[in-house]
Amino acid sequence: MTDRVRKKAPHWGAFFVCVGLLFTLPAWGQDCPADRIDERAELAQVVDGDTLRLRDGRRVRLIGVNAPEIGRDGRPSEPFSQQARDAMKRMLGRNAVVGLRFGTERKDRYGRLLAHVYHADGRSLEVALLTQGLAAQIVVPPNVYGQACYRAAEREARETGRGVWGSIYRPQAVEALPRSTRGFRLISGRITSVGDSKYSVWLNFPRKAGEKKREGVALRVPRKDLLNFPNDFLRDLQGRHVVARGWLFRHKKQLVMVIRHPAALEVRPAGMQVAAVNAVTD
């Protein structure tokens, strides 16, 4: 694929505490270098912590990270969302040219380009966000390139409670999870049962007093994604304590998180620290 710079087109579309904290790391983004750059493009706008707008109007969603959401349509901003956006602006400056390393899947359902993004000098924007505690590492298959490196970049910020890891992305125990919770979260609990339906495998957490079957909190693994998991991996989770990361949503009377890749699950053996599950790269 040609490594080129997109010129300006005739038209283009226009992680609560520590608010004053400046996230500055002199050596940001020096790890996780690109194996290739598919395109270089001019930046027009930092939309939020994980989304950019290019000069030609295209939007780019950074692969491998999720930053807190900035409030829209009357919804409040999540903690550290403004700091994540401001950090991106400082890192890139004005009229920046960024390098794009596209994923196996090139666009998301919103039409945004999916890419790993690099500063002109080769530093990774994803790593910069992760090391500053302004985003969490995520894996959305088939775009799995770099995920083990991003998890390593996240580790120090998480272990020290930096940024989002001291607030919104700190793992929440399922037993204490408000049933009104929505959006990207890390949740923690013991898998009491593993069940099957026509299209999914279900990992069920303990239900609260008064909750019936198909209520409470569960992890859903679509059958189409089972090829991403080692044989018997999901069945072997019964009785184990896990930390899951992903987007929570309400389905009927149940709070559900879809899990598409083992990197979204950390299995905590008795008496041992959380062990992250890694995977191959694309």
pLDDT for the residue numbered 18: 32
Which pLDDT belongs to residue 216? 86
52 strand-pairing partners? 46, 60
Question: Which residues are within 8 A (CB) of 73 and not within 5 positions of it... i.e. 6 or more apart?
Answer: none
For 153-190, the pLDDT digits (tens) are: 999 999 999 999 998 999 999 998 887 889 999 999 99
pLDDT in tens, 50-85: 999 999 999 999 999 999 999 888 889 999 999 999
- Taken as a whole, the chain contains a residue count of 282
- The predicted structure's pLDDT at residue 210: 66
Do the beta carbons of residue 231 and residue 180 sit within 8 Å?
A: no
pLDDT > 70: percent of the chain: 83
Q: In angstroms, rounded to a whole number, what is the distance separating the alpha carbons of residues 149 and 134? A: 16
The model's pTM is 0.83
Query: Which domains, ranges and CATH numbers included, belong to the chain?
Result: 5-166 (2.40.50.90), 172-276 (2.40.50.140)
